[in-house]
Amino acid sequence: MKTPQALLAAWIVFGFALPAAAGVTVTVSGENKDDQALIYIEGNKMRVEGNKGDNRKPSLMIYDGDAQKMIIVDPDKKTYSEITPQALHSFTDRVQKQMEEAKAKMTPEQRKQLDEMMSKMPPEQRQMMGKAGDPPPAKPKEQLKWERTGTTQTVAGYSCEGFREIKDGKVDAEGCYIPWSAGAITKADMAPFKKMEQFMEESGTKSPDRRLSTFARLEEGPGFPVVWKPADSDSKAKQTVTGIKRGTVSSDKFQVPAGFTKTDAFQGH
């Protein structure tokens, strides 16, 4: 039987990448240095702590991909709410029925104005406001590719390469990517985002948040974007990873803080 030292030597001699340590903690900053987020990932679980600038209150979201449960925490009020795909589906149905009831009471002119407004919305939002039980709108697969910009830089201690993200023939974003082979952040670390995509599908809706769809399609990209800016926004939307730390994340990071009170996520809606 090979000794651990012999196995280690074999990995090095044959050029295989050593398996990365479980878990990763990523620090992301906006153009405003006070606008910072900490992302903890371990297996199918993820925790996102937002520390917003401009006197905006901090935020906290915990996602358990194994239990398919999203926990929204209000640190100021010391409250939290749990969202499941089933609960979100029920809420969506309720909103849709309320919309239909309100539309039935409208005048023809008001209905026309509403239809015109909805025609300008993304398909996901139209589905939220459409008839209850309607199937999600068909969405053609986006044609994605990445073009090198010829630039390189060092970000969070890792070398990254510049790419433009081309979606359906147009530049959609630009960033600097650490290759997956570097082991800083691996494709396996993206597991919670894949689970979250399933969460949205099971809830009968799709998130209009472009960040989720961006992470969901990372597998196709050249690596993990440590600098990223959408093409249709100003410099304030630019995000930069300022820290990457590998290592097991404590299980208490994925639990509700002690003493917090549970509330209904959809109360009042």
Per-residue confidence (pLDDT) for residue 211, from 0 to 100: 46
Q: Does an H or E element contain 161, and which?
A: strand 158-167
Mean pLDDT of 254-265: 93
Q: What are 19-61's pLDDT values in tens digits?
A: 445 799 999 998 776 788 999 999 999 999 987 655 667 889 9
DSSP assignment, residue 105? T
Write the DSSP string, 40-102: EEETTEEEEEEE-STTPPPEEEEEETTTTEEEEEETTTTEEEEE-HHHHHHHHHHHHHHHHHH
Per-residue confidence (pLDDT) for residue 150, from 0 to 100: 97
**CB atoms < 10 A from the CB of 96, how many?**
19
Extents of the domains making up the chain: 86-128, 144-248
Who contacts 197 (Cβ-Cβ below 8 Å, separation ≥6)?
Answer: 212, 216
33 versus 72: the higher-pLDDT residue is: 72
Q: Where are the alpha helices (DSSP H) in the chain?
A: 4-13, 85-104, 108-119, 123-128, 191-202, 210-216
Per-residue confidence (pLDDT) for residue 216, from 0 to 100: 56
Q: What are 111-142's pLDDT values in tens digits?
A: 788 778 777 665 555 555 554 444 555 555 56
Q: What are 200-236's pLDDT values in tens digits?
A: 888 876 654 444 455 556 778 899 999 989 887 665 6
Mean pLDDT of 76-82: 94
Q: How far apart are CA 192 and CA 207, in angstroms?
A: 15
Q: How far apart are CA 50 and CA 142, in angstroms?
A: 30
Per-residue confidence (pLDDT) for residue 123, from 0 to 100: 55
Q: Look at the pTM and tell me if it is higher than 0.85.
A: no
Share of the chain above pLDDT 90, in %: 43
Interior CA angle at 86 toward 60 and 130, to 5°? 100
Mean pLDDT of 188-204: 87
Closest CA to 178 of 123, 267, 246: 246
Per-residue confidence (pLDDT) for residue 49, from 0 to 100: 93
Q: How far apart are CA 226 and CA 22, in angstroms?
A: 20
Range in 34-48, 60-74, 90-104 with the lowest mean pLDDT: 90-104
Confidence of residue 248 (pLDDT cuts 50, 70, 90): very high
Per-residue confidence (pLDDT) for residue 220, from 0 to 100: 82
How does the average pLDDT of the chain come out, rounded? 80
